[in-house]
Structure 1
């Protein structure tokens, strides 16, 4: 076969793929235009486009190669979760606090139980019911954030709780995917296997996160000056796919790897830039994913299972609203914020699709489950904006209708719960020791296993190969062994407990346990590389060397730790984001706004603006570039581009938002660029302005402008005074109305 025939054959093979891809994008584009016009969620547009292009709608061109679409859909899931990871970050998870965590966990546990029971009540298989429970428990981050943007409620207090809950839900969804995979493979509920899966997940998450934060931000910072947008995009996607491969190789979902890499990159200073670059790729393949979901909508199946769809839609809207509201109340939130939070979380979305896809891929769920989930998601996506809108009126209705003693008890519980922040000394010490033990145990174990898998096979056949490999490994883990066994943590708290005879013995036992654990790891390492006898002798030598060089190990560990913490905190140092910070127990919370360049309040002091007197809000800080003005005084002046953080209730924040909009200068839709211009005027012999001062010449009045400069005898004079006398051959630079200047200069 010659080259021409080969190319022709390849083109023929590619033709269905290209035509299918074109059909998907054309259908999606038309559906999106329609749904944008009628102001409905775009996800619904993708689902409708998929239905139209799918095999179940015969009055429209149909996709031929469904298997190719499935491959693109898998890529779409990867980039969708990579993008979610970029918005996630593990530091956000640590900061969401008890309120969001309790709300999310209450919702998830309740909905899993309800979903499972409903599935069993309908008569579905046990595995269908298990997957259904998990599917119904996860709200949609994409839909909620889009709704908040469209309704302009992001600045309200409940929005911060919702965002925090979504962060917790994302990580729980990842955990659920791992557990469901384990259950699907074993087909039984083995507690040991589930525990093993959880420990495996924790192990790899810790290693990937620690190693990723240690190396990736450093790589991006070192290459910052040579990275173009194209290179940064390629490197980001390469890192994403590298983690996808790693996750797949250790038995996890590829989507998990994409999510983890996104969350690692989210801690870098270039996270926003990378998110901006990745967005078109995510949007493209994400669209293919949602379209592929729509292609599975079978009208006959939906007609057959119309009753389960209606029941599950009711369960999602009512169940998620009530469970989230109860969770927020338990965490100590007032009734209004709790109801707003609950009603905002009343839908399912992208993670539900992904979990349903997992069930199909593993061949453990029935064919009807997926289209039912899609239908429920479509309905709840449509109802979400209305649920958010009616949350406030409904909370006010409840406050009027519920017994007064209930309202008082809720308010009292909220105030008391928010004020309980006492952490005992013993809890601080236990937490610090657990972090030291778990973190360094995982790191040491990972290094030893990596060495035994990669270094030992390379050198085991040489004369001193095992000794060299063991020495390299011990050097690598030695700083972490020191931190595991001898590093002092929570020093003041430990000392106070040692002074108390009651706690002295437990503290000493914990210290000895850490030392014993370090010795065990040295023995474990040496036993891999040597026979037991040689390993014991080497253990004694290693402990002796380890004992005589604690300062060196301390210094080395501090270097590693400081590098890690610097990478971890670089983004926060570069940009302070307090949009979701809360002050409790009051309804007041902190919200950040930016002073627009066109704002009339720019240039004025806080005393002149009288913000506190007029609206009852306080200014927490003003961020100006790299400068942070904390608790500014009345004389502090606002400048264009300043970020101003205010403290107030939802109503006060909304008033301030309106105040900012009212003070922005309205810019016409069509601005004539040539209305004002800068022109030259050369004063010749016959010019009327010669011998007059600038003020006497009335140039300002005649041009609606001003003289900004004069060239005289080759010298330039900027911003001349009005009493400067004009001379022959002067060249005036005048800025003003173009028409007036043209008419004047022609005279």
Structure 2
């Protein structure tokens, strides 16, 4: 690995902390500062500074960014409990269903309106890219504001897991229609759902029957850092299995944290027990900002034509509306509907994955998602990513002032 990569990573980490500090001093979540720093670094070429050209696409940067968001969702899982997640499961399911169906319908309509000559498969694909929620940014904002115990947080996290499974099914259906002109067969859909359900059930069984004994054994070992290694190893293991099952790796990371939510460990030679979050927290504080800076760096402000900009604006509007209405799925309880809707808005890397799949499919010898449409989708993803932190922070503060004791 060349020295330039080390220097780029150093600049990204230090700039992230500087941007986060400025955001906090402005009474905003630090993730907003990290995103803004990324946008600045990624567009320095407009000022004739080319130091960071292509930095976001470097393999080490991409890997560390993905590792950062995986560890972040692991930490979020550690701060949740299975009991709490079960309590909000019906509400989370309804929120997820609305949050998938509404954006697909709205996205299809916008595509049909602005791209009337495009094939039906493109309209479906654009709708599908609006369906996927990326919970990493929302989770970071809620964590920054000490709102992890809020009912809204539990609903959002539960909905995000269900959303990922539904998104996988939608992607399979749309990709099959685009490539073969037909729906995938019942066996294919059953396999997708079975893999997702099998993974989640297996993760819960692992947490209930295997991990307590593993941590009891590990706590007797004298090697420094063994408990952190076991915890992170489990996180990466489930992230990998999740990816193999067709789900996003962050779902596996969240599940890993969830099954270890009540694990308190006493390292060898220590008198007091430590919560796993105390061990993992400092690592996440360094790694997670790389993901948010890289996300910001992928926003390219120069060389965008008028048509992609207009399409991006229209897609962003319906992307926001489509997720806001998902908050209507909240029934009873104390969870704030608007907070849940705002928390479901970011599309992040999941939307980009959908767009890349569409770009790889050919229709009449051309990519199904051409360069201009792809640029519009990327801009929509970035806009929903950037707009959420300040809006969510403002709303959750209002809710916490009105309901300070709700948890």
Q: By the TM > 0.5 criterion, same fold?
A: yes
TM-superposed CA distance for 1:225, in Å, is: 4.2
1:129 pairs, out of 126, 130, 140, with 126
Deviations 1:701-729 (A, max 9, x none): xxxxxxxxxxxxxxxxxxxxxxxxxxxxx
What's the CA shift for 1:138? 6.6
Residue 288 (str. 1) matches residue 290 (str. 2)? yes
**Cα separation, 1, equivalents of 2:395 and 2:303:** 28
Deviation, structure 1 residue 127: 5.2
Question: Is residue 94 of structure 1 aligned with residue 118 of structure 2?
Answer: no
Change (3 A) 1:392 1:33: closer
Within the candidate set 28, 51, 62, 1:62 is matched to 51
2:156 to 166, 170, 186: 166
Structure 2 unpaired stretches of 5+: 266-272, 361-368
Distance 1:355 1:84 in 2: 18
Aligned counterpart, 1:75: 67
For each residue in 1:399-426, what CA deviation from the matched residue of structure 2 results, as whole angstroms up to 9, or x when unmatched? xxxxxxxxxxxxxxxxxxxxxxxxxxxx
- Residue 141, structure 1, aligned to residue 132, structure 2: no
Q: TM-score, normalised by structure 2?
A: 0.75
Determine the C-alpha separation between the residues in 1 that align with 2:206 and 2:387: 42
Aligned to 2:379: 371
Higher-Rg member (1/2):
1
SS of the residue aligned with 1:368?
helix
* Aligned match for 1:209, one of 196, 204, 226: 204
Listed as ranges, the gaps of 5+ residues in structure 1 are 1-12, 394-648, 655-747
**1:243/1:257 contact within 8 Å kept:** yes
Higher helix proportion (structure 1 or 2): 2
CA–CA separation in structure 1 for the residues paired with 2:253 and 2:92: 24
**Which residue number corresponds to residue 302 of structure 2?**
300
RMSD: 3.7
Counterpart for residue 190 of structure 1: 184
Contact 2:320–2:345 (8 Å) recurs in 1? no
CA–CA distance in structure 2, aligned partners of residues 252 and 100 of structure 1: 18
The answer to whether the Cα contact below 8 Å between 1:28 and 1:49 also exists between their aligned partners in 2 is yes
- Looking at structure 2, the residues matched to 228 and 116 of structure 1 have their Cα atoms a distance apart, in angstroms, of 56
Task: Work out the CA distance in 2 between the residues paired with 1:221 and 1:42.
Answer: 36
Q: Helix, strand or coil: the match of 1:300? A: coil
Give the distance between the partners of 2:170 and 2:196, measured in 1 at CA. Answer: 13
Deviation at 1:323, TM superposition (A): 4.1
CA contact (8 A) 2:320 2:384 kept: no
Shift in Å, 1:113:
3.1
- Give deviations 1:596-637, integer Å, cap 9, x for gaps: xxxxxxxxxxxxxxxxxxxxxxxxxxxxxxxxxxxxxxxxxx
- Hey, what does 2:11 align to over in structure 1? 23
Deviation of residue 74 (structure 1)?
2.4
1:606-645 counterparts in 2 under 5 A? none
In 2, Cα distance between equivalents of 1:302 and 1:280: 39
CA shift, 1:275, in A, is 2.2
Superposed displacement of residue 90, structure 1: 4.0
Query: C-alpha distance in 2, partners of 1:263/1:202?
Result: 16
The alpha-carbon distance between structure 1 residues 250 and 382, as it changes in their structure 2 partners (threshold 3 A), is: closer
Q: CA deviation at 1:81?
A: 2.9
For the 8 Å contact 2:129–2:355, the answer to whether it is kept is no
Equivalent residues, number:
371
C-alpha distance in structure 2 between counterparts of 1:317 and 1:254, whole Å = 24
